[in-house]
């Protein structure tokens, strides 16, 4: 089952996107709808709301007077936090219940207006954010939905900023154009990302990455890495001593293959093995091969260079996860290498030239890797010399 989080500010078009996803076959779990159900007449939820806000939030028929409650909570942070603390846990419980009923090979889309505000992004395989310019949203809501402009703006002020949503978004859907445009973007997302992602997660496989193609440094790589790190930490819990962005994409300015490398630090490889299934479940299946780094002169014992490797099942964000034991030589080198390249512009330029020269000569990534070996052989001692001179130490915790 693939778990997708869908969010966006009020009026951005979440319902429009969710509707299209439903048509395509997703199971949609709508938080706004659940938030209404848990405060229906006769519920504990409604009793608690009335205990907190008084009878004036009740309509004559005993149901919740929504505009009256809205007037109390939008524009008053304390009241809103109080309401949220009553409603949100109930919404979460019900969402878990509905999600568990979805088919094992299904794609569940949870439409959650406050996904970013509530720090829920790492709990999903993928977070989709729908966005439109604030003024356009205000216009749409006041015209087509007849909302009061002040109310709309008060809600926008109570929600995450565009920047906060960008930090959480794996997929950014711009709904500034026509409804047909955004529906077409969703159809494309469904066929080219969600369906293959779900299949890879279910089958424990990962997408074909073709040959070694070097692309210019992408300033979004660190953000992509942060999102993956947050997911992996949540999934791995205490067994993850730390998770770091490593490899070329962790070196600002350096061209690289569009593959994020991450290193998960464990106490021992037994912990890595105990985590294998959990990591596969969150979209990082284990690879059977490549369980050892090439030993280096500083420690030639191959046993010390063992690791476990997983790869992202997401066709839209290639990533490798290297799991190594804290303090092992491969673990230390993975942290040293990007630190050295970040500090040494000449080494960075040299390495980029080596990559750009080698990549077009090979159709497969392993052969390209072998072609870079001679450069690495001479780079190791330079990295070590830099570490000694700069007093660089790997992080201890």
Ligand X SMILES: Nc1ncnc2c1ncn2[C@@H]1O[C@H](COP(=O)(O)OP(=O)(O)OP(=O)(O)O)[C@@H](O)[C@H]1O
Ligand Y SMILES: CC(C)(COP(=O)(O)OP(=O)(O)OC[C@H]1O[C@@H](n2cnc3c(N)ncnc32)[C@H](O)[C@@H]1O)[C@@H](O)C(=O)NCCC(=O)NCCS
Binding residues vs ligand Y (CB under 6 A): 10, 31-32, 35, 66, 69-70, 73, 80, 83-84, 87, 91, 113-114, 155, 158-159
* CB 375 to ligand Y: min, Å: 53
CB 41 within 8 A of CB 163: no
Give least dist CB 23 to ligand Y, A: 21
Could you say which residues in the range 176-215 bind ligand X, by CB under 6 A?
Answer: 178-179, 182
Any contact of residue 145 with ligand X (CB under 6 A)? yes
Binding of ligand X at residue 320 (CB under 6 A)? no
Neighbours of 56 (CB within 10 A): 11
162 phi and psi angles, rounded to 5 deg: -60, -40
- Residue 12, marked binder: yes
Q: Are strands 242-246 and 260-266 parallel, antiparallel or unpaired?
A: antiparallel
Q: Is 8 annotated as a binding residue?
A: no
- φ, ψ of residue 22 in degrees (nearest 5): -65, -45
Nearest residue (CB) to ligand X, 10 versus 108? 10
**16 among the known binding-site residues?**
yes
Was 296 annotated as part of a binding site? no
Which one of 4, 6, 12, 21 is in contact with ligand X (CB under 6 A)? 12
Q: How far is the CB of 98 from ligand Y (least distance, A)?
A: 13
Phi, psi of 127 (to 5 degrees): -115, 125
Q: Where are the alpha helices (DSSP H) in the chain?
A: 14-24, 31-37, 44-53, 66-73, 77-100, 134-143, 149-157, 162-168, 179-189, 195-203, 221-236, 269-281, 329-343, 345-358, 365-390
**What is the number of other CB atoms lying within 10 angstroms of the CB of residue 79?**
16
Specify the residue, 7 or 249, whose C-beta has the smaller distance to ligand X: 7
- Window 80-119: contact mask with ligand X (x via CB under 6 A): ---------------------------------x------
- Among ligand Y, ligand X, none, the one that 15 touches (CB under a kind-dependent 5 to 8 A) is ligand X
Q: Can you read off the two tokens belonging to residue 284?
A: 């990082």
Q: How far apart are CA 283 and CA 243, in angstroms?
A: 16
Told to check if 10 binds ligand X by CB under 6 A, we report yes
Q: Which of 27, 175, 227, 309 binds ligand X (CB under 6 A)?
A: 175
Cα–Cα distance measured from residue 63 to residue 57, given in angstroms and rounded to the nearest whole number: 9
Other CB atoms within a 10 A radius of the CB of residue 247 amount to: 24
- Partner whose footprint covers residue 70, from ligand X, ligand Y, none (CB < 5 to 8 Å by kind): ligand Y
Could you say which of ligand Y, ligand X, none residue 320 binds, taking C-beta under 5 to 8 angstroms by partner kind?
none
Which residue numbers belong to the known binding site for ATP? 11-16
**Could you list the residues that contact ligand X (CB under 6 A)?**
8, 10-16, 32, 113, 140-141, 144-145, 175, 178-179, 182
């Amino acid at each position: 089952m693939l778990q997708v989080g869908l969010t966006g500010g009020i009026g951005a078009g979440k319902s429009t996107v969710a509707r299209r996803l439903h048509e395509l076959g997703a199971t949609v779990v709508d938080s706004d709808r659940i938030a209404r159900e848990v405060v229906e007449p006769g519920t504990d939820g409604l009793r608690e709301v009335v205990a907190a806000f008084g009878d004036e939030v009740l309509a004559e028929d005993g149901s919740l007077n929504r505009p009256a409650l809205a007037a109390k909570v939008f524009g008053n942070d304390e009241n809103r936090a109080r309401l949220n603390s009553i409603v949100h846990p109930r919404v979460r419980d019900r969402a878990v219940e509905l999600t568990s009923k979805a088919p094992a090979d299904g794609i569940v889309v949870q439409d959650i207006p406050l996904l970013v505000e509530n720090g829920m992004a790492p709990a999903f395989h993928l977070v989709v954010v729908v966005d439109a310019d604030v003024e356009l949203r205000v216009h749409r809501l006041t015209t087509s939905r007849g909302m009061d402009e002040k109310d709309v703006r008060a809600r926008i002020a109570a929600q995450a900023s565009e920047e906060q949503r960008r930090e959480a978004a794996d997929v950014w859907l711009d709904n500034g154009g026509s409804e047909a445009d955004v529906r077409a973007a969703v159809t494309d997302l469904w066929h080219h990302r969600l369906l293959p992602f779900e299949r890879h997660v279910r089958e424990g496989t990962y997408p074909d990455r073709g040959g070694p193609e070097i692309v210019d440094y992408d300033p979004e790589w660190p953000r992509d890495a942060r999102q993956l790190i947050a997911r992996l930490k949540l999934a791995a819990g205490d067994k993850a001593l730390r998770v770091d962005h490593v490899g070329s994409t962790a070196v600002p300015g350096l061209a690289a293959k569009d593959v994020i490398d991450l290193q998960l630090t464990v106490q021992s490889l037994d912990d890595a093995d105990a985590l294998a299934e959990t990591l596969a479940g969150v979209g990082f299946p284990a690879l059977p091969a490549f369980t050892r780094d090439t030993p280096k002169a500083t420690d030639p014992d191959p046993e010390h260079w063992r690791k476990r490797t997983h790869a992202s099942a997401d066709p839209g964000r290639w990533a490798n996860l290297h799991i190594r034991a804290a303090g092992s030589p491969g673990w230390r080198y993975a942290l040293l290498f990007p630190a050295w390249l970040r500090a040494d512009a000449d080494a960075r330029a040299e390495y980029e030239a080596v990559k750009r020269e080698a990549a077009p000569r090979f159709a497969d990534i392993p052969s390209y890797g072998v072609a870079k070996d001679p450069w690495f052989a001479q780079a190791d001692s330079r990295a070590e010399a830099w570490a000694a001179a700069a007093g660089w130490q790997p992080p201890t915790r």
